Amino acid sequence: MESMLHLAAAEIKEPTTAGWILMIGSVSFVVILVGWCFKRVLTADPPIETDVPAGKGP
Amino acid sequence: MSQGKQEWGSRLGVILAVAGSAVGLGNFLRFPGNVAANGGGAFMVPYLLAFLLLGIPIAWAEWTMARYGGAKGFHSAPGVLGVVGRGKVARYFGIIGVLIPLGVYFYYVLIESWCLGYCWEYLKGGIGVPTGADVNAQVAASSAHFAEFTGAATDGALFDFSGATAGVHETSLIFWIITFAVNFFFLYRGLSKGIEAFCKWAMPAMGVAAIIVLVRVLTMDANPQHPDQTITTGLGYMWNPDWEALKNPKTWLAAAGQIFFSLSVGFGVIINYASYLKRKDDVVLSSVTSNATNELFEVGFGGLITIPAAFLFMGLSISAFQDSSFGLGFKTLPVVFANMPGGNFMGAIWFFMLFLAAITSSLSMLQPTLAFLEEALGLNRKVGTFVLLVVGALGNLFVLWHSEGLRALDIIDFWIGTFLIFILATVQIICFGWVWGIEKGIAEAHRGAQLRIPAIFRFIMKYVSPAYLLVIFVLFIGFNVLDRTDDDGNVITGYWSKIWAEDNQVERLALGLISLVAIGLIIATAIGEKRWRAQGLDVDGLKPLDPNVK
């Protein structure tokens, strides 16, 4: 039934404005996220301060 | 410990290895099917929520606990969880973290070998889809070839070397042997020289292959017989939102399941891989980076390639296949390649890309089990690899023989590759947030971190993630384990009933196999515990960590 519901809504049509926004937004989000992450990893900023002194951890 | 010698060669290496473990067939086949079947673009709302509330937090917890367990000298899930969960209960739950990757390997490497075999067949000229025929006839031909290649017609079919299909069966088995051997070759070479070296080459290669296929798909002309079937209408079919779908619990379950299984959290892999990190190595940014890489392949490539390409040739009838990864990947896409100019070349690239995605995952399934054998039984790498090779081959042969309808594969995938992942993820997030304590856990995560975990995640990791998991788990049982009636009054048999149905002996045999392996792992853990205590290791995580540990 669920897929039938989707089929009923699914006709052959161009992406709607919402469709374009969701597609471009989703793809852009993952591209920017992965680019930002790898830039941080490869430029290797010095580690931030730890919350716990060495040897006092859990 | 013999495992102490293993370590990652570089930080990028471990990130790519974890990302390689996460990126698999599900990114290219399951994700687009899920989107199309569950509200199109609207699916991204529960998907993003699950990413933020389940995927990222559980991955942080897993990376952090693993690094801590590694510093205590443990690299297997029972060892690490025994330390973090402070005792026997968590340690024995940790066995699930070995059972999952080993059990999934029993069938996953077969799917991997299909990808390599299909790649070879495309290099030789395709799989024989009759392009002049009606599209339904083409799909039927493609489906028939898949059934022959996998032996889905009857049990033992792949071992029948007589008749017209003997060549296909031989090809299938030869590629299984090749794939199996390649896996163990890289495993035996070790963490840095084997798995890491392979992933550092395979991940960029997979990216290049995905870009080639994506560019080709996005530049395809309209279907000449159905001019309204174009790539853009294919994108519209996949991404146009159906907001009503958000009212259906099935959509939320599918989104959470997709994130969950795609990121390899609760799988027993990260808890092994991250245990080889040094004490001061970052885990927070590394975890997010490997998750982001997985998302790039899933949303960026999987979201744009598979469904639009298949839609171009099949139109709305694609909906009959979108719920099945095998249906999309091995039955409909070959029709696309058959009709596409240069389709054999693109088909070879596509299936080689799937093979790379699969082998970086299957390697990550072997390493946790090998680490466990070495750690619990004191085996050296050579003997451990041999034992694992024998167990892996027996598991593969079981699934290869019981090939009718791929039922053995399906039942192991469900109980090991789906059900137990929920259990392990729940155990892990409870160990992190409640047994270890959220403040101590976050503090440990921040040791050497290059990214600070936002404060809100203290609340999320302690309360929201476990509660979200529980709700999803209850929904999952309701939809899949128990019998249910759909809106049309049809009874859908759940996996529990499937076990006990009179004709389902294969399902019972598969569960018997899983139980045997589980018993073996329990015995090995008991032996390991005695060895670890005799070695003076902090088995129950009761002592503070030695500050001199690097």
Chain B residues touching residue A29 (CB < 8 angstroms): 299
Q: Does B488 touch chain A (CB under 8 A)?
A: yes
Which chain A residue lies closest to B446 (C-alpha atoms)?
A50
Residue B513 to residue B407: CA distance in whole angstroms: 14
Tokens of B45: 């709302």
Angle at the Cα of B338 (from B334 to B344), degrees rounded to 5? 90
Contact A52 B442 (CB under 8 A): no
Contact B285 A5 (CB under 8 A): no
Residue B228 to residue B513: CA distance in whole angstroms: 50
Q: Which residue has the higher pLDDT, B123 or A44?
A: B123
For residue A45, the model assigns a pLDDT of 57
Please provide the DSSP assignment of B110-147 as one string: HHHHHHHHHHHHHHHT-S---TTS-HHHHHHHHHHHHH
Question: For an interface test with A, which of B318, B447, B549 has the most A Cβ atoms less than 10 Å from its Cβ?
Answer: B447
Chain B residues touching residue A5 (CB < 8 angstroms): 242, 244-245
Mean pLDDT of B111-136: 93
Chain A residues touching residue B296 (CB < 8 angstroms): 30-31, 33-34
For residue A44, the model assigns a pLDDT of 72
Residue closest to B46 by CA, chosen among A31, A36, A22: A22
Q: Count how many Cα atoms sit within 13 Å of the Cα of residue B146 in the half-sphere of its side chain.
A: 21
By Cβ distance, the residue of B250, B440, B450 closest to A48 is B450
Mean pLDDT of B167-178: 96
Chain A residues touching residue B16 (CB < 8 angstroms): none
Inter-chain contacts counted by CB atoms under 8 A, chains A and B: 170
Residue closest to B144 by CA, chosen among B152, B133, B156: B152
CA distance A9 to chain B (A): 7
Residue B516 to residue B306: CA distance in whole angstroms: 38
Which chain B residue lies closest to A46 (C-alpha atoms)?
B450
Ramachandran assignment for B8, one of left (phi > 0), alpha (psi -120 to 50 degrees), beta (any other): beta
Residue B441 to residue B437: CA distance in whole angstroms: 6
Phi and psi at B511, nearest 5°, equal -65, -35
Decide: B277 and B283 in contact? Cβ < 8 Å: yes
Chain A residues touching residue B452 (CB < 8 angstroms): 48
Residue B27 to residue B295: CA distance in whole angstroms: 8
Tokens of B10: 């570089």
Phi and psi at B27, nearest 5°, equal -65, -40
Hey, CA dihedral for B285, B41, B413, B204, is it positive or negative?
A: negative
Which chain A residue lies closest to B444 (C-alpha atoms)?
A57
CA distance A27 to chain B (A): 5
For residue A10, the model assigns a pLDDT of 56
Q: Which residue has the higher pLDDT, B133 or B94?
A: B94
Residue B174 to residue B117: CA distance in whole angstroms: 9
Angle between helices B381-401 and B343-377 (to 10 degrees): 130
Q: Does A8 touch chain B (CB under 8 A)?
A: no
What is Dmax (Cα atoms) for chain B? 74
Single-letter residue type at B361? S
Neighbours of B456 (CB within 10 A): 10
Contact B292 A33 (CB under 8 A): yes
Please provide the DSSP assignment of B443-456 as one string: HHHHTT-SSPPPTH
Q: How far is CA B348 from the centre of its chain?
A: 22
Neighbours of B12 (CB within 10 A): 18
Q: Is the pTM of this model over 0.90?
A: yes
By Cβ distance, the residue of B39, B250, B285 closest to A40 is B285
Question: For an interface test with A, which of B43, B51, B203, B240 has the most A Cβ atoms less than 10 Å from its Cβ?
Answer: B240
Decide: B408 and B246 in contact? Cβ < 8 Å: no
By Cβ distance, the residue of A21, A27, A47 closest to B300 is A27
Single-letter residue type at B378? G
B517 band by pLDDT with thresholds 50, 70 and 90: very high
A6 band by pLDDT with thresholds 50, 70 and 90: very low
ipTM for the assembly: 0.90
A53 band by pLDDT with thresholds 50, 70 and 90: very low
Contact B68 A57 (CB under 8 A): yes
Contact A47 B449 (CB under 8 A): yes
pLDDT digit string, tens, across residues B243-256: 999 999 999 999 99
Q: Count how many Cα atoms sit within 13 Å of the Cα of residue B357 in the half-sphere of its side chain.
A: 29
Hey, CA dihedral for B148, B152, B153, B156, is it positive or negative?
A: positive
pLDDT digit string, tens, across residues B358-416: 999 999 999 999 999 999 999 999 999 999 999 999 999 999 999 999 999 999 999 99
- Secondary structure letter of residue B42 according to DSSP: G
Q: Return the percent helix, strand and coil in chain B, to nearest 5.
A: 75, 0, 25
Chain A residues touching residue B300 (CB < 8 angstroms): 27, 30-31
Gap between the terminal Cα atoms of chain B: 16
pLDDT digit string, tens, across residues B278-330: 988 999 999 999 999 999 999 999 999 999 999 988 888 888 777 777 888 89
pLDDT digit string, tens, across residues B187-235: 999 999 999 999 999 999 999 999 999 999 999 999 888 889 999 999 9
- Secondary structure letter of residue B65 according to DSSP: H
Could you tell me how many helices (H) and strands (E) chain A has, helices first?
2, 0
pLDDT at B550 over 70: no
Name residues 204-263 of chain B within 8 A of A (Cβ).
Answer: 228-229, 232-233, 235-242, 244-245, 248, 250
Which chain A residue lies closest to B488 (C-alpha atoms)?
A1
Which chain A residue lies closest to B68 (C-alpha atoms)?
A58
Residue B361 to residue B24: CA distance in whole angstroms: 6
If 0-12 CB within 10 Å is exposed, 13-18 middle and 19+ buried, where does residue B69 land?
Answer: buried
CA distance B395 to chain A (A): 35
Contact B319 A6 (CB under 8 A): yes
Single-letter residue type at B523? I
Gap between the terminal Cα atoms of chain A: 51
Q: How high does pLDDT run on average in chain B?
A: 93
CA distance A33 to chain B (A): 6
Which residues are bridge partners to B491 per DSSP? B485
A46 band by pLDDT with thresholds 50, 70 and 90: low
Phi and psi at B277, nearest 5°, equal -70, 155
Name residues 11-30 of chain A within 8 A of B (Cβ).
Answer: 11-16, 18-23, 26-27, 29-30
Chain B residues touching residue A24 (CB < 8 angstroms): none
- Report how far apart, in Å, the C-alpha atoms of B293 and of each of B23, B192, B349, B414, B438 are: 8, 20, 20, 26, 27
By Cβ distance, the residue of A29, A30, A54 closest to B547 is A54
CA distance A21 to chain B (A): 9
Tokens of B480: 């899949």
Question: For an interface test with A, which of B435, B450, B458 has the most A Cβ atoms less than 10 Å from its Cβ?
Answer: B450
If 0-12 CB within 10 Å is exposed, 13-18 middle and 19+ buried, where does residue B295 land?
Answer: buried
